[in-house]
């Protein structure tokens, strides 16, 4: 009777072991083995044939699970709090070293170098449907030009509420800017065709002011004209998704940069003809515009993200 009871206890313990306990190999700690068997040269844990009974290396709560999955093959996954792959996979390199993958001939086909972060020996084929290569096309344009003392805008100017093109003659440079006053929502316009793979558009405005306090509200509004539509669309209103409040520099006439990431472009798609309006939100209808005096715009930039 005692033997039967003892056998039942042993069976109960074996059945009740967790996946970590059942496959744990340690250095003599509680529940672990003190060493490998010495009778076999190849020391294989044959029971680690699923995550349920994986070989666990760790503290029992967070550990590495080694096993062979019957579908996906050999696995070496982290387990945190009992959840498989609930971690970030990091490989820290020391100075002067690199991480590399080689082909069957021992030739490097992918390398990341610690000191530079550069990826080398890799082939990036964006023509394959299974690959996506995201590129960023950034361009900046002067918004006005000055011929001697005659200034003119380099973009389309509306019939009303237009900024004033003004020559900016320095000791060394001759240039021009568009002056946006602090009383009216003045603007100019541009238009482009969205490229194949269009993802989003960021805007950048380089400006300055005589004022040294307050902020200027800048807006970039986009509206699409798809194939088959008329080329006179109504711009969306100045709003948080297409405007930014940019604080003036503390020194008069220092250059400043206002940026708008991911300008709202409703339903925009590759191939669309997109009209662009750059304006100052002088009345503060969308964002704060508290700066007194003109905001002097030097350049307008657009950065288009595309995926191939």
The verdict on residue 128 lying in a domain is no
Here the tokens at position 167 are 């020559």
The verdict on residue 227 lying in a domain is yes
Q: In terms of domains, do 27 and 97 share one?
A: no
Burial 247-277 (b: 16+ CB within 10 A, else e): ebbeeeeeebebebeebbbeebeeebbbbbb
Q: In terms of domains, do 148 and 285 share one?
A: yes
How many C-beta atoms lie closer than 10 Å to residue 134's C-beta? 11
Give the domain CATH number at 259.
2.60.120.260
Domain that holds residue 110: 92-123
Q: In terms of domains, do 226 and 258 share one?
A: yes
How many C-beta atoms lie closer than 10 Å to residue 178's C-beta? 29
CA–CA separation, 244 vs 240, rounded Å? 7
- The pLDDT score that the predictor gives to residue 188 is 98
The burial of 184, by beta-carbon neighbours within 10 Å (0-12 exposed, 13-18 middle, 19 or more buried), is given as middle
Q: Could you tell me if residue 187 is left (phi over 0), alpha (psi between -120 and 50 degrees) or otherwise beta?
A: beta
CA–CA separation, 244 vs 238, rounded Å? 10
E strands, 154-285, where?
Answer: 164-169, 174-180, 187-193, 198-208, 215-225, 243-247, 256-260, 273-280
Q: In terms of domains, do 292 and 145 share one?
A: yes
Q: Which residues contact 160 (CB under 8 A, 6 or more apart)?
A: none
CA–CA separation, 197 vs 230, rounded Å? 23
Residues of the chain scoring pLDDT < 50: 1-31
Q: Which long-range contacts (CB under 8 A, 24 or more apart) does 79-86 make?
A: 84/51
DSSP 171: S
The verdict on residue 3 lying in a domain is no
The verdict on residue 150 lying in a domain is yes
Q: In terms of domains, do 157 and 291 share one?
A: yes
How many C-beta atoms lie closer than 10 Å to residue 30's C-beta? 8
Q: Is the whole model's pTM more than 0.75, yes or no? A: no
Judged by DSSP in three states, 281 sits in: coil
The verdict on residue 215 lying in a domain is yes
The verdict on residue 131 lying in a domain is no
CA–CA separation, 137 vs 306, rounded Å? 8
Total count of domains within the chain? 3
The tens digit of pLDDT for each residue in 1-26 reads 333 333 232 223 233 333 334 344 44
For β-strands 215-225 and 174-180, DSSP reports them as: unpaired
How many C-beta atoms lie closer than 10 Å to residue 189's C-beta? 16
Q: In terms of domains, do 223 and 292 share one?
A: yes
Q: Which residues are paired to 108 by β-bridges?
A: 102
């Amino acid at each position: 009777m005692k033997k039967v009871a003892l056998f039942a206890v042993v069976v109960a313990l074996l059945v009740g072991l967790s996946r970590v306990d059942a496959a744990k190999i340690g250095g003599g700690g509680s529940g672990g083995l003190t060493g490998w068997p010495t009778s076999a040269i190849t020391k294989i844990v044959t029971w680690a044939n699923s995550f349920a009974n994986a070989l666990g290396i760790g503290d029992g709560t967070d550990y590495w699970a080694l096993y062979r999955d019957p579908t996906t093959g050999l696995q070496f996954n982290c387990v945190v709090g009992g959840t498989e792959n609930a971690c970030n996979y990091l490989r820290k390199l020391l100075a002067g070293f690199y991480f590399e993958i080689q082909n069957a001939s021992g030739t490097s086909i992918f390398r990341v170098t610690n000191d530079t972060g550069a990826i080398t020996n890799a082939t990036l084929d964006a023509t394959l449907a299974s690959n996506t290569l995201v590129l960023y096309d950034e361009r900046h344009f002067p918004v006005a030009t000055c011929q001697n003392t005659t200034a003119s805008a380099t973009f389309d100017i509306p019939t009303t509420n237009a900024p004033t093109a003004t020559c900016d003659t320095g000791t060394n440079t001759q240039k021009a800017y568009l002056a946006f006053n602090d009383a009216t929502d003045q603007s100019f316009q541009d238009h482009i065709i969205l490229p194949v793979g269009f993802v989003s558009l960021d805007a950048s405005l380089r400006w300055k002011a005589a004022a040294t306090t307050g902020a200027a509200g800048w807006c970039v509004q986009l509206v699409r004209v798809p194939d088959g539509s008329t080329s006179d669309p109504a711009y969306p209103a100045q709003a948080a998704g297409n405007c930014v409040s940019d604080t003036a520099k503390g020194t008069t006439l220092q250059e400043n940069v206002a940026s708008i990431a991911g300008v709202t472009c409703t339903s925009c798609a590759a191939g669309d003809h997109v009209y662009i309006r750059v304006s100052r939100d002088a009345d503060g209808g969308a964002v704060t515009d508290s700066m007194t005096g003109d905001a002097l715009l030097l350049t307008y930039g657009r950065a288009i993200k595309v995926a191939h």
